């Protein structure tokens, strides 16, 4: 079976972690071997620097674009490509679409953010979780918020850019998922799309 490269994307507070784990289990039951990864990474220096800056407020838009792109290069060359070449499927929690959305919402021109990510692999399918920002904010009201999560206007811009992804990438398999549903209902929607690939 051809290994799959699957990406989960969302604005803040939508929550993809549970669905990533459920899909990994489902694919394993279908005899796929799966590697889970996420961006920004927890293992490469750029990813750790990003996570530090998200809470310190050092969010220069050009620096963030550079750091996210460099972190993705490391993750692609050291995790994603080796896994796929060894017949392992990859589920990535956030990828190039987040960089395009977040750094464009920060003020980097859209054309530049897209150009900066052209070097990266196109997934077999991209799930973008859709949820009204008010509900998303309610879900994360008790967690420590980073600088992006605190800014409601930023979150609105972010959602608007994510909504444009099929238009920006017409040749890619992008599927919106209604994240207001119950966990099992959301997974059924995901499973239907993945079954088409299998």
In sequence order, the 6+-apart residues with CB closer than 8 A to the CB of 105 are 154, 157, 158, 161
- The tokens for 20 are 């990533």
Mean per-residue pLDDT, 78-105: 96
CB 69 within 8 A of CB 117: yes
Give 130-160 pLDDT, tens digit per residue.
876 655 555 555 555 555 655 678 888 888 9
Complete domains list, the chain, with CATH = 5-37+81-197 (3.40.50.300)
Mean per-residue pLDDT, 89-112: 95
Helix, strand or coil, per DSSP, at residue 8: strand
Rounded to whole angstroms, what are the CA distances from 86 to 3, 5, 43, 90? 9, 13, 21, 11
pTM: 0.90
DSSP letters for 127-189: EEEE--HHHHHHHTTTSPP-HHHH-HHHHHHHHHHHHTHHHH-TTS-EEEEETTS-HHHHHHH
CB 95 within 8 A of CB 124: no
pLDDT at res. 66: 96
Residue 94 pLDDT > 60: yes
For residues 39 and 98, what is the distance between their CA atoms, to the nearest angstrom?
9
Residue 157: how many CB atoms within 10 A of its CB?
Answer: 17
pLDDT range class, residue 128, cuts 50, 70, 90? very high
pLDDT at res. 149: 57
pLDDT at res. 156: 85
pLDDT at res. 137: 55
What burial class does residue 121 get, using C-beta atoms within 10 Å of its C-beta: 0-12 exposed, 13-18 middle, 19+ buried? Answer: middle
Query: From the DSSP assignment, how many helices (H) and strands (E) are in the chain?
Result: 11, 5
pLDDT at res. 100: 97
Mean per-residue pLDDT, 93-114: 95
Mean per-residue pLDDT, 174-188: 94
Phi, psi of 3 (to 5 degrees): -65, 150
Element (H, E) at 34: strand 34-38
Give 9-65 pLDDT, tens digit per residue.
987 666 788 899 999 999 999 999 999 999 999 999 999 999 888 888 788 899 999
Question: Strands, DSSP E only, in 52-106?
Answer: 89-93
């Amino acid at each position: 079976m051809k290994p799959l490269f699957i990406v989960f994307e969302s604005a803040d507070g939508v929550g993809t972690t549970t669905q990533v784990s459920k899909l990994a289990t489902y694919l394993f039951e279908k005899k796929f071997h799966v590697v889970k990864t996420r961006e920004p990474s927890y293992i490469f220096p750029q990813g750790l620097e990003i996570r530090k800056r998200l809470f310190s407020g050092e969010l220069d838009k050009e620096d963030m674009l550079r750091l996210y792109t460099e972190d993705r290069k490391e993750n692609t060359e050291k995790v994603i490509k080796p896994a796929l070449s060894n017949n392992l499927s990859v589920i990535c929690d956030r990828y190039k679409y987040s960089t395009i959305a977040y750094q464009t919402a920060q003020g980097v021109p859209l054309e530049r953010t897209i150009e900066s990510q052209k070097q990266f692999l196109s997934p077999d399918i991209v799930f973008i979780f859709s949820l009204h920002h008010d509900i998303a904010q309610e879900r994360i009201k008790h967690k420590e918020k980073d600088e992006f999560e605190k800014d409601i206007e930023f979150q609105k811009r972010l959602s608007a850019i994510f909504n444009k992804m099929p238009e920006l990438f017409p040749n890619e398999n992008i599927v919106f998922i209604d994240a207001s549903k119950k966990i099992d209902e959301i997974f059924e929607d995901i499973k239907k799309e993945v079954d088409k690939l299998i």
